[in-house]
Amino acid sequence: MDTAVTAKKKWWGGGYSPFNVSYGKLMMWYFLMSDAFTFGALLISYGTIRFMSTSWPDANDVFHAFPFMGHMNLPLVFVSLMTFILIMSSVTMVLAVHAGHTRDRNGVVKWLSWTIVGGAAFLACQAWEWTHLYHAGAWWGRNPFLNVDGTVASTNFTNFFFTITGFHGLHVTSGVVLNIVILANVLKGTYEQRGHYEMVEKVGLYWHFVDLVWVFVFTCFYLL
């Protein structure tokens, strides 16, 4: 991004990164690529098991509760709220990265703080959803929900649901921890001294990846 890109530049001639990014950012991209394969493997194995099952529980019957709404039937509403929170926190993260580009320290602090709030809110929602499902009798190895065709379902549904949303939640958790560490550094003035806020960009990449994975988890578990 720093050097002007001209058509004649010999990217592989040595002397600078042929990818035009720093080592740290490139390695973050490669880490995210490997993480994409991990999530891909989990979601594809879920798809495989779903394809081999003669019937499967209906997401609209399973995920229909909302906090403080008692037994009202509200399919999809709560997970839509979770999706909105995560998209919103992704936006505040890009705004933090953007503030870092213009060396606006207060802007970085403000937007990074909102990102942390969004991440924490998402985790709180997930904790509520897991608790609700647990009290409904669902857990690894236990599945109280019937298949669409009325037959008794195997535990594949709950096993995959808790494993994949749990693995995603673990990523959100580590993302929130990373954001807090970076925020502490911003407040300490570490990046002001360093002369750039690239660390915010690297953590930002990770945070957007977490949002990206949620897009697929949302589709695979709640919509399909």
Regarding 198 and contact with another protein (CB under 8 A), the answer is: yes
Regarding 129 and contact with another protein (CB under 8 A), the answer is: no
Task: Specify the residue, 4 or 135, whose C-beta has the smaller distance to another protein.
Answer: 4
Min dist. Cβ of residue 177 to another protein (A): 20
**3-state SS of 94-135?**
HHHHHHHHCCCHHHHHHHHHHHHHHHHHHHHHHHHHHHHHHH
Regarding 7 and contact with another protein (CB under 8 A), the answer is: no
Count of C-beta atoms within a 10 Å radius of residue 137:
11
Residues written for the chain: 224
Task: Specify the residue, 131 or 174, whose C-beta has the smaller distance to another protein.
Answer: 174
Regarding 155 and contact with another protein (CB under 8 A), the answer is: no
CB 91 within 8 A of CB 51: no
Q: What is the largest CA-CA distance in the chain?
A: 66
The residue range among 51-59, 116-124, 154-162, 165-173 that interacts with another protein, by the rule CB under 8 A, is 51-59
Residue type, 179: N
Rg of the Cα atoms in the chain = 21
Regarding 38 and contact with another protein (CB under 8 A), the answer is: no
209 Cβ neighbours under 8 A, 6+ residues apart: 32, 35, 36, 171
**189 by DSSP, 3-state: which?**
coil
Task: Specify the residue, 6 or 71, whose C-beta has the smaller distance to another protein.
Answer: 6
Interface with another protein in residues 93-122 (CB under 8 A): 93-95, 98, 101-103
List residues near another protein by CB under 8 A: 1-5, 11, 18-23, 25-26, 29, 33, 36-37, 40, 44-45, 47-54, 60, 75-76, 80, 83-84, 87-88, 90-91, 93-95, 98, 101-103, 194-196, 198, 205, 208-209, 211-212, 215-216, 219, 223-224
